Chain A
C-alpha cells in the first residue's frame, strides 16, 4: 500500500489507498439438507487521487499490476469532480469492538450442525415445510492510507445464520424465515426457530380483508421492508444538498411524531454495522437523526460535507461495488417505546400486522410514497390474530405515517446488519384487497 501511495503521489497532489481483504465461508442447505460449502477470498485495492484539483478513481483486484491502477486513476482525474476537501490526517479512532477471533475457529462441522438444528426444529413442527438455511462466517481486514498522514487499519468478523421455510398447498405458498448476525459467533438458534414456528402457527388459518383504511402494526421486519429505505435516503446529506430530500429544509423542525427518536450508531460493540472509522478514514460517531420527532442531523462524507459547508460525520461508504465514497447510514437505530407487541394486538378491533411487504421500494421512494404486496401479514379481529392475509396491498406515505404513531413497541430487534427497530403501530393505513 505504501508503494502504491508513493507512486501515486508522484503524479497527483493528494492520494489515498483503500484495501479490503475479505474471507467468507458460507454453508448452504437446500431442501432440508446440506448442499454447498463455499470459500471466497477477495482482495480489492482502490486508489483515489486529487490531481489538478480534480478527483480520479480506480479499483483493481489485479494484485500484480498497480501501473494500470495508477494510470486509470490519472485518466479519470481529467474528468472528475472538483475536490472540495483534503484527505484527513486522522490516525486515532474511537475503540469499537467488532472483532472476535472465536468466529474464525468455528468449524465447518459446527456450522453444519447449526444449520441442521434449525431445519430439524422447523420440520419437526411441520413436516410439510421445506427449508433452506445458511450459516456464514466472514473475516475482513480494512486498511486506509492517505498522503496527508491519515492511516487506519481494523479487522472485523461477522457470523450470520438464518433459515427460510416454505409451505406449499396447491398454488398457495407461504414463506417464513428469520436471520441474525453478530461479530461474535451465534451458536444459539432458539430465537430464530421460535420466530419461524410462531409465524407458521399464525399463518395456519387464512383471514379476509376488505378494501379500506385500518390500524396497522409493522413488526421490525415489516418496518424494514416498507419504511426504512426512503427514510435513510432523506437523511443522506447528498439528497439534502440536491434539494431532493423532503426534510432537507426542516432541520430543527418537528416533522415526525414526538415519540420517534432515531440515531445513526456505528459504535455499538459487536454489531456488523459498527466500525471505528468510515471508508475515508474519518472517525465514526453516534449521531442523533431524529430527536423526539425533530429533524436533528444529516449524514455526510468528505466531499458532500465540504460542498454543504459542514463536516463529514464519518458516513463515507464505498458500497458493495467499491465505487467512490458517498454518504450512507452506518447503523439506523430506532429507540424502543413502552408498548409490548401483544398489547398492540390486544388493543386493535380490526387491523393488520405487516411482517413483510414486497415491492415497497419500487415507487416514488424519494417522496416517501410506498405501496407493496403483503407477502407475510396477519389479520387482527377483536384483539386476536385470526390468520394470514393474502392478495392484499398496503399503501401510504412514510411522512404521513411517522407523523402520527399510535404506539412504539418495546420489542427492538436487529434486522440485517445495520437496522435496529421496534414494531410501529399506525392508526390508519390504506389497505386494498380483492
Chain B
C-alpha cells in the first residue's frame, strides 16, 4: 500500500530540480465515517478512505495547480504545474519567503472518534433520535454525524517538510414538526477537533430543540422592519464571521484599490467596545492548527481593536503584495483545491455588559438565538436565527418564527452598542468560499446588541 511519507519525500526531491519562483506540494490521506438518520430510521452508514495530492507552482505572478489521486508519474505532475504557471505568468512574483521548517506535529486528541466503535456511535445517535421522537407533534428528524482523521504532508521549494494530523467530529440534529399543512424545524450543531466527548451529552439540548420545533408552529411571523436586536453568542458568532470576517480576508482586497481604500488600517469600523480576533493559534478549536497549508505558523490576529481596523488575514502572496506580515491563514479544504485565505476561529472579545442590562431598556425588540446559516456579499450580509423571541419592556417575551436578519456591514458594526461578558465558541459550523465547503472553523461572541437591524417578515 502506498505510503504518503515516501511520496512526499519523492516530491521534495523533484521540487528541488524545478525552476520556478516557488513550488509546494501537499499529500494527504483521510479516513471518514458518516452516520445519518432521517425520521425514525437510520438512513445510511458509510466509511471512506482517500488519498491524494497536489502541486502548486508560481512563476512571474502566475499560478499553476495540479491535483490528483493517482500517485504515479509524480514528475509529470510537477512539470505540468510549472508549465501552467509559466503560461500564466507575465509580471513579477511577490511572495513571502520563509526559512525552511521541518516538523512533525502529533495531534493531541482527547477522545479519538476513530477509536469509538460504530456500535457506540450508533447507540448515541439512537438515543438522540429517541429524544426527538418522544416529543409530541414531531413529523420527522434529521441527524447527521461525521468524523474524520486526516494526515497531511507539506513540502515546498524552500525545503520545508511539515507533517500534521487532525481529527474532526461534527453532529447536526434537527427536528421537524408539522400541523395543518404547516412545517417548522429546529436544530443544533456541535463539533470538535479533538474530542468525541463534545457531542456525547446533548440529550437535554436535543429534547429541547424537538419541543421548540413544535412550539414554533404556533408562533406568529414577525412584522418586517427595523428592530433593536440582541444576538446570542452562537448567532453573534455567525454574524461576526459573515458580516465582517470575510471582508478581512485579504484575497478580496489585495489587488483591488477600491476595496483597499475601504479596508485601510486605522479606519473606524465600530464603537470603542468592539474587538474582533481570528486565531488559529488558540488550541483545541475546530479552526486551530500549527501551520497553515502554505507552511506558515498559525497566529492570533486582531482584526478590530477598540473599534478600529488593525489587521487582516493573509496568505504568502497577499501579505507580500500588501507589505504586511503573514498571518498563516491560507487553507485548503482538501488536496483537490489550492489554499486560499480563510478564517480559523473568529470571535468578538467579551465586554462587561450582562444580558439583563442589555435588554433592560428595550421597549420592543428581538432576541435571536441559534442559527440556520449566513452568507455575505461583502457589503451586505444575511443570517438567520433558529430560535427567536420578542423583547418587550425589558423582558424576553413571546416566541416568534425564525427570522432572517440583513444589513449593511459597515452600518451594522457601528450599530453594535452593547457587548456581553459571556463569550462562547460555536464549534458546529463549516465555512464555504470559492467552491471549498465546508471548511472546519469555529466562531463565537458574547451576547451583543445591535440597533436598527433590518428583519424580514410580513
Main secondary structure of the interface of B (DSSP, over half): strand
| Distance A175 CA – B376 CA, assembled complex (angstroms) | 12
| Distance A395 CA – B222 CA, assembled complex (angstroms) | 11
| B237, CB-defined interface residue at 8 Å | no
| B68, CB-defined interface residue at 8 Å | yes
Known interface pairs A359-B406, A362-B384; A173-B377 also in contact (CB < 8 Å): yes
| Residues of A close to B68: CB separation below 8 A | 40-42
Count contacts on A: residues with CB < 8 A to the other chain.
Answer: 77
Cβ–Cβ contact B224 & A366, under 8 A: no
With A36-B88, A39-B67, A390-B408 already in contact, 17 other A-B pairs whose C-beta atoms are closer than 8 Å? A34-B90, A36-B338, A37-B64, A39-B65, A39-B66, A59-B47, A60-B48, A61-B52, A62-B50, A79-B45, A81-B42, A108-B84, A130-B258, A168-B258, A375-B377, A391-B454, A395-B457
- Segment 44-60 of B: residues with Cβ below 8 Å from A: 44-52
Question: Pick the contact of B384 from A242, A324, A363, A367 — CB < 8 Å?
Answer: A363
| Residues of B close to A81: CB separation below 8 A | 41-44
Cβ–Cβ contact A64 & B1, under 8 A: yes
Question: Pick the contact of A243 from B42, B49, B50, B140 — CB < 8 Å?
Answer: B140
Mark each residue of chain A from 19 to 35: 1 if its CB lies under 8 Å from any CB of chain B, else 0.
00000000000110111
| A361, CB-defined interface residue at 8 Å | yes
Cβ–Cβ contact A38 & B65, under 8 A: yes
Shortest CB distance A298–B (Å): 16
| B393, CB-defined interface residue at 8 Å | no
Cβ–Cβ contact B408 & A130, under 8 A: no
Closest to B91 in A: A33
| Distance A43 CA – B69 CA, assembled complex (angstroms) | 7
Known interface pairs A81-B43, A173-B377, A434-B226; A58-B382 also in contact (CB < 8 Å): no
9 contacts between A and B (CB under 8 A): A38-B66, A42-B67, A42-B336, A59-B48, A79-B118, A364-B184, A369-B401, A373-B382, A393-B224
Q: Which of B18-26, B174-182, B341-349 contacts A (4 or more CB under 8 A)?
A: B174-182
| Residues of B close to A97: CB separation below 8 A | none
Interface centre among A61, A323, A358, by most chain B C-beta atoms within 10 angstroms, is A61
5 closest cross-chain pairs (CB), A and B = A359-B382, A371-B456, A432-B224, A362-B384, A168-B258
Closest to A243 in B: B139
| A184, CB-defined interface residue at 8 Å | no
Cβ–Cβ contact B84 & A37, under 8 A: yes
Question: Pick the contact of B46 from A59, A175, A364 — CB < 8 Å?
Answer: A59
Interface centre among A56, A170, A246, A432, by most chain B C-beta atoms within 10 angstroms, is A432
Number of A-B residue pairs having CB atoms within 8 Å of each other in the complex? 252
Cβ–Cβ contact A69 & B65, under 8 A: no
Closest to B378 in A: A173
Cβ–Cβ contact B48 & A244, under 8 A: no
| B402, CB-defined interface residue at 8 Å | yes
- Segment 183-206 of B: residues with Cβ below 8 Å from A: 183-185
Closest to B434 in A: A28
Shortest CB distance A225–B (Å): 11
Cβ–Cβ contact B377 & A371, under 8 A: no
| Residues of A close to B336: CB separation below 8 A | 40, 42
Q: Which residues of A contact B (CB under 8 A)?
A: 30-31, 33-44, 55-65, 68-69, 72-73, 75-76, 78-81, 108, 128, 130, 166, 168-173, 175, 211, 238, 242-244, 246, 322-324, 358-359, 361-364, 366-367, 369, 371-373, 375, 390-391, 393-395, 430, 432-434
Shortest CB distance B423–A (Å): 25
Cβ–Cβ contact A364 & B140, under 8 A: no
| Distance A356 CA – B447 CA, assembled complex (angstroms) | 31
| Residues of A close to B383: CB separation below 8 A | 359, 362
| Distance A372 CA – B372 CA, assembled complex (angstroms) | 13
| Distance A33 CA – B140 CA, assembled complex (angstroms) | 50
| B272, CB-defined interface residue at 8 Å | no
Cβ–Cβ contact B402 & A363, under 8 A: yes
Cβ–Cβ contact A41 & B42, under 8 A: no
Cβ–Cβ contact B49 & A36, under 8 A: no
| Residues of A close to B45: CB separation below 8 A | 56-57, 76, 79-80
